[in-house]
């Protein structure tokens, strides 16, 4: 059931995440060009390197482009419903950033037919996949949800089929 009290905080945080993502991409595109050497931010540990990703997460191809739109839009509806159904604010906040990041990448895909990635992290030649702030919002949000569920969520006692309470 949707909690009406969550709608305003959800919308505000989604817009904030979306604006941070889109403004960062606009700035990067105006200062960097693809295939030029990366701009070191923190030595070779953190660099900015403009790339265009026509594929999915970690540049993995999942088939025709239409699948990216279909999966993204279905996922957005599901995540938005879950976020608005949370009874606590922390869950709403976490899901707001995940949804804001997802919308940021969907906007790129609709507007450009690819996603703008620019954050390049690693040590020497050991590099992670190039990503953007939308990806960071999604990934960090997912990690927070996982940690929250595993370590901080109070597990309610449930009844076993015999009527006994179990942990």
* Predicted pLDDT of residue 166: 54
* Predicted pLDDT of residue 158: 46
* Predicted pLDDT of residue 22: 98
> For the packed helices 65-85 and 89-112, what is the interaxial angle rounded to 10 degrees?
160
Question: What CA–CA distance (Å, rounded) separates 79 from 100?
Answer: 11
* Predicted pLDDT of residue 87: 82
Residues of the chain with pLDDT under 50: 157-158
pLDDT (tens digit, 9 = 90+) per residue, 12-46? 999 999 999 999 999 999 999 998 999 999 998 99
Name the helix (H) or strand (E) containing 9.
helix 7-31
Residue 120 phi, psi dihedral angles, 5° rounding: -120, 115
- Give the active site residues: 117, 135
Name the helix (H) or strand (E) containing 52.
strand 46-53
* Predicted pLDDT of residue 36: 92
Domain boundaries defined on the chain: 4-152
* Predicted pLDDT of residue 165: 58
- 3-class secondary structure, 140: helix
pTM of the model: 0.82
* Predicted pLDDT of residue 62: 66
């Amino acid at each position: 059931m949707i909690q009406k009290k969550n709608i305003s905080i959800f919308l505000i945080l989604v817009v904030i995440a979306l604006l941070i993502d889109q403004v960062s991409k606009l700035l990067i595109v105006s200062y960097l060009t693809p295939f030029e050497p990366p701009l070191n931010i923190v030595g070779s540990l953190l660099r900015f390197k403009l790339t265009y990703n026509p594929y999915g997460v970690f540049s993995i191809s999942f088939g025709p482009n239409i699948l990216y739109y279909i999966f993204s839009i279905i996922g957005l509806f599901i995540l938005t419903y879950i976020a608005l159904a949370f009874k606590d604010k922390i869950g709403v906040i976490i899901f707001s950033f995940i949804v804001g990041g997802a919308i940021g990448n969907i906007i790129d895909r609709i507007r450009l037919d690819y996603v703008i990635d620019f954050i390049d992290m690693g040590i020497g030649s050991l590099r992670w996949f190039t990503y953007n702030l939308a990806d960071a919002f999604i990934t960090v949000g997912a990690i927070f949800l996982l940690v929250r569920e595993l370590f901080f969520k109070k597990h309610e006692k449930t009844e076993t089929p015999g009527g006994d309470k179990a942990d």
